[in-house]
């Protein structure tokens, strides 16, 4: 197949990229690809350490889609072996090691959700157990000999843990070497990752040189803040939008972001054209109400990840009815509270009914004023509540439950 011009490819491929090693090498690879007709091999590795993807995970996936649509070969590596080690990037302690069964189950979920971002049938999908599992101890020793402890301690997270006296386990040093081995195994021309992956991506370049291969270009996308506008989007922090969230949940969570993230989310999480994003920026700069664009963003996120225009419209209508006009939704789910448990502490109530993921999260929510019973705010997590059937519980901005005594 023919390729679009190198300049046009670069315009598409560099959109939203915040670091690259190096752009000149990428141009050279694209020019050679155009001359020879050989597509670039563009690698993205994902470790199935959990079951669900957030919008944060979609940023490099969307960049992989850009390469595929420019005519190149997307190589999606399921890190079933690296996941059993756990990427130490940005961690203050070692990750728990997963079993092969856990990573296999998680990988299937990842692929199902990745299909909402790009056509996985057009990808070359590999598992790094293909080349890592057969390695002998002698192979591992030779791999370890390609780096030094001093080099590993250049990583900020390792350096910080070393200086603070926190343990760094030997197997964690193997992670960047394993990821780099992936690049050698698939002969990657380009590797994608977040800016927090730079050390690992550069390690791949080193290992490719040692293997006699041309080093890959490292293309890095940003780590986008979650709904709080400060921390990285993360399920553990609760500041995320998930690909498996309902349209109502997607819209509601979008409406909670600070205004400063509107343009960022349009750029990295939606298919809205750059020209429209530029128009939105100009309108916001001119003083137009950001709420209008936040609603547009909520609809765009829903339709980008598999929802219909009708679902997006209905989600907006329900949100406006519930929050702009203060109406209680009609379809509140029942939550069963055992009569024998009454009176029940507020924090335990939220956790036991599923309105909060844990007792500790329930305490935090209550202390921040995010829990009401029939509209009355409860601020003491230890408050003893005696409930009656039909009372409406509200946790946070969007979770409701109607009490049913059982």
- Beta pairing class for 190-194 and 376-377: unpaired
What are the Cα distances from residue 300, in Å, to 180, 238, 250, 295, 313? 36, 21, 10, 9, 10
- Beta pairing class for 217-221 and 19-21: antiparallel
The gap from C-alpha 45 to its chain's centroid, in whole angstroms, comes to: 13
Residue 294 among known ligand-binding residues: no
d(CA 40, CA 159): 35
Residue-wise DSSP of 332-354:
PPEEEE-GGG-SEEHHHHHHHHT
Nearby residues of 366 by Cβ (< 8 Å), 6 or more positions away: 346, 347, 350, 378, 379, 380, 381
Q: Across the chain, which distance is largest between two alpha carbons, in Å?
A: 76
- Helical spans, DSSP H, in 51-99: 55-69, 82-85
CB 300 within 8 A of CB 270: yes
Backbone angles phi, psi at 160, to 5 degrees: -65, -45
- Beta pairing class for 217-221 and 190-194: parallel
The gap from C-alpha 363 to its chain's centroid, in whole angstroms, comes to: 26
d(CA 156, CA 178): 19
CA atoms within 13 A on the CB side of 251: 26
Among 205, 197, 151, smallest CA distance to 22 is for 205
Residue-wise DSSP of 285-329:
HTT--HHHHHHHHHHHHHHHTT--HHHHHHHHHHHIIIIIS-PPP
d(CA 165, CA 209): 34
- Helical spans, DSSP H, in 137-246: 137-144, 149-152, 156-163, 170-186, 198-210
d(CA 178, CA 189): 17
Q: Pick out the residues of the known binding site for ATP.
A: 235
Q: Pick out the residues of the known binding site.
A: 235
């Amino acid at each position: 197949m023919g390729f679009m011009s190198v300049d046009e490819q670069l315009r598409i491929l560099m959109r939203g990229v915040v670091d690259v090693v190096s752009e000149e090498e990428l141009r050279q690879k694209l020019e050679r690809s155009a001359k020879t007709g050989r597509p670039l091999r563009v690698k993205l590795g994902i470790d199935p350490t959990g079951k669900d993807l957030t919008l944060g995970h979609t940023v490099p996936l969307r960049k992989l889609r850009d390469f595929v649509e420019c005519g190149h070969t997307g190589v999606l590596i399921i890190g079933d072996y690296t996941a059993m080690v756990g990427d130490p990037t940005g961690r203050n302690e070692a990750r728990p090691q997963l079993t092969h069964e856990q990573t296999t189950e998680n990988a299937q979920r990842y692929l199902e959700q990745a299909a909402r971002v790009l056509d996985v049938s057009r990808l070359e999908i590999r598992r790094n157990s293909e080349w890592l599992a057969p390695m002998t101890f002698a192979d591992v020793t030779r791999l370890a000999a390609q780096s030094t402890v001093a080099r590993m301690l250049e990583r900020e997270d390792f350096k910080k843990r070393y200086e603070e006296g926190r343990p760094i386990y030997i197997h964690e040093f193997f992670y960047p070497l394993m990821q780099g081995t992936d690049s050698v195994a698939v002969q990657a021309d380009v590797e994608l990752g977040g800016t927090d992956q730079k050390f690992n991506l550069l390690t791949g370049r080193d290992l490719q040189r040692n293997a006699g291969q041309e080093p890959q270009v490292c293309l890095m996308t940003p780590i986008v803040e979650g709904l709080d506008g400060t921390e990285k989007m993360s399920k553990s922090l609760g500041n995320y939008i998930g690909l498996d969230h309902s349209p109502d949940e997607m819209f509601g969570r979008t409406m909670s972001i600070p205004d400063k993230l509107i343009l960022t989310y349009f750029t990295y999480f939606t298919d809205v054209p750059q020209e429209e994003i530029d128009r939105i920026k100009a309108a916001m700069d001119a003083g137009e109400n950001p709420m209008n664009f936040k609603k547009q963003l909520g609809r765009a996120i829903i339709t980008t990840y598999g929802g219909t225009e009708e679902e997006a419209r209905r989600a907006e209508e329900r949100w406006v009815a519930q929050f702009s006009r203060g109406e209680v939704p009609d379809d509140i789910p029942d939550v069963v509270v055992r009569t024998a448990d009454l009176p029940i502490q507020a924090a335990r109530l939220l956790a036991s009914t599923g309105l909060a993921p844990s007792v500790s999260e329930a305490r935090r929510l209550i202390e921040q004023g995010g829990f009401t019973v029939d509209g009355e705010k409860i601020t003491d997590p230890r408050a003893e509540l005696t409930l009656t059937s039909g009372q409406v519980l509200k946790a946070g901005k969007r979770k409701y439950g109607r009490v049913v005594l059982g």
